[in-house]
């Protein structure tokens, strides 16, 4: 993990300050948690129109070699060899216990892999990848590029007004696109549950391009606060919270990210543990939770059965701006994981009734062609 006290700045730092953002230390970076409109408005603007996020603190990595797709499969359970050039996949680095060391997105390009990893884990990930691929592939961090995300129902109209070719991109695909003179890596992806794009831009053109996007009507600058509530509504895991080195992907409900071939062949760290969990079911399962009333149940809130036994813990929880009610996710034993199960959440010492519900809390609206 990066030193949380050291604060680096992304290339967009001055722009955030100019826009009136409240800056906070996050994963070793000084990042905007919210702008003057506040988290609620930023959140709803993303769901209704378009939100623009600085995610330049995340790691952008390129892996080159004779066969990087085959090589990386020794470290992650994703089926990277099955990807055509221009396709991308959500996966995770696993440890020998079958736990998750980080989640990441791997894009297969014509001659290499483009990988985006979490900010807090990037040093560890780059070392893992470098050591794990030694002799087979070369791992290079791209420190000369910013990364922004444009998310929401109007994202396609806004970005395609500057680069028409992005309109026809399919969900989870990659294209190199020149936008306003900047050679960008564009993916149709994101982590808000909305249609949208992530755009990697050379540092020297990042501020100008970000300003142009913000000039469009309907684009709001969005900070970490709304980023968190958006991904929670979408039922998506946050590394370090819903996923840890002690969480298996099967418990987390991420079996869909491991293809049939990889489940059968294994060949990634912890494969035997994960295969056994697939065969025998995991002990714990990640579930959606809705507390009664309006009091949010936040991370580390204890989950109890109706007899008062502590059975699990909330890993992400807060208030849903879209639904105007509290929502949470956490891990419970399989016997309590069925939708409709009544449990209690221990908020400030008091047991408050809650129910296991289906996720996502807010319907995902990814682009499907």
Beta strand ranges found along 56-203 (DSSP E): 59-65, 88-94, 100-108, 112-117, 137-141, 145-151, 174-179, 182-187, 196-202
Per-residue x/- track, 42-81, another protein (CB under 8 A): -x--------------------------------------
First-last CA distance in the chain: 38
Q: Which of 227, 223, 225, 178 is nearest to 205 (CA)?
A: 178
Residue closer to another protein by CB (options 235, 296) is 296
Shortest CB 294 distance to another protein, Å: 4
Q: How far is CA 137 from CA 73, 85, 104, 131, 185, in A?
A: 12, 17, 18, 10, 21
Determine, following the binding rule CB under 8 A, whether residue 326 of this chain makes contact with another protein: yes
Is residue 51 within 8 Å of residue 154, measured between CB atoms?
A: no
Determine, following the binding rule CB under 8 A, whether residue 294 of this chain makes contact with another protein: yes
Shortest CB 333 distance to another protein, Å: 27
Determine, following the binding rule CB under 8 A, whether residue 229 of this chain makes contact with another protein: yes
Determine, following the binding rule CB under 8 A, whether residue 40 of this chain makes contact with another protein: yes
Determine, following the binding rule CB under 8 A, whether residue 321 of this chain makes contact with another protein: yes
Residue closer to another protein by CB (options 350, 368) is 350
Determine, following the binding rule CB under 8 A, whether residue 225 of this chain makes contact with another protein: yes
Q: Where are the alpha helices (DSSP H) in the chain?
A: 13-18, 39-48, 68-72, 122-132, 155-162, 203-215, 224-233, 260-265, 271-280
Determine, following the binding rule CB under 8 A, whether residue 39 of this chain makes contact with another protein: yes
Determine, following the binding rule CB under 8 A, whether residue 33 of this chain makes contact with another protein: yes
Shortest CB 80 distance to another protein, Å: 37
206 phi/psi in degrees, rounded to 5: -70, -40
Determine, following the binding rule CB under 8 A, whether residue 9 of this chain makes contact with another protein: no
Residue closer to another protein by CB (options 42, 112) is 42
Query: DSSP letter string over 53-72?
Result: EE-TTSEEEEEEESSHHHHH
Residue closer to another protein by CB (options 253, 291) is 291
**Contact set with another protein (CB under 8 A):** 33-34, 38-40, 43, 225, 229, 294-296, 298, 318-319, 321, 326, 348
């Amino acid at each position: 993990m990066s030193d949380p006290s050291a604060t680096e700045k992304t290339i967009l730092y001055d722009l955030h300050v100019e826009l009136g953002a409240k800056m906070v230390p996050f994963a070793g970076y000084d990042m905007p948690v919210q702008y003057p409109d506040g988290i609620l408005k930023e959140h709803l603007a993303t769901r209704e129109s378009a939100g623009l996020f600085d995610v330049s603190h995340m790691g952008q990595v390129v892996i080159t070699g004779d066969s990087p797709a085959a090589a990386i499969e020794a470290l992650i359970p994703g089926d990277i060899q099955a990807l055509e050039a221009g396709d991308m996949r959500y996966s995770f680095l696993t440890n020998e216990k079958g736990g998750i060391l980080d989640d990441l997105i791997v894009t297969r390009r014509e001659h290499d892999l483009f990988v985006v990893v979490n900010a807090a884990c990037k040093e560890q990930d780059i070392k893992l990848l470098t050591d794990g691929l030694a002799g087979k592939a070369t791992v290079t961090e791209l420190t000369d590029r910013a990364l922004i995300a444009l998310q929401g129902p109007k994202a396609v109209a806004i970005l395609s007004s500057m680069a028409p070719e992005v309109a026809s991109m399919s969900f989870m695909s990659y294209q190199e696109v020149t936008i306003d003179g900047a050679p960008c890596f564009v993916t149709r992806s994101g982590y808000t549950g909305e249609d949208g794009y992530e755009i990697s831009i050379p540092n020297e053109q990042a501020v100008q391009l970000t300003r142009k996007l913000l000039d469009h009507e309907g684009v709001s600058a969005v900070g970490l606060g709304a980023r968190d509530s958006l991904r929670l509504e979408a039922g998506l895991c946050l590394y370090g919270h819903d996923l840890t080195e002690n969480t298996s992907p099967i418990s987390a409900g991420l079996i869909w990210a491991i293809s049939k071939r990889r489940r059968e062949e294994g060949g990634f760290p912890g494969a035997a543990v994960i295969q056994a969990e697939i065969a025998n079911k995991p002990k714990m399962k990640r579930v959606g939770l809705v507390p009664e009333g309006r009091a949010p149940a936040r991370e580390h809130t204890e989950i109890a059965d109706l007899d008062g036994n502590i059975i699990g813990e909330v890993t992400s929880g807060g208030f849903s701006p879209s639904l105007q009610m509290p929502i949470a996710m956490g891990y419970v034993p399989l016997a309590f994981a069925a939708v409709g199960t009544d449990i209690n959440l221990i908020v400030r010492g008091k047991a408050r009734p809650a129910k296991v519900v289906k996720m996502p809390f807010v319907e995902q609206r990814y682009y499907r062609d």
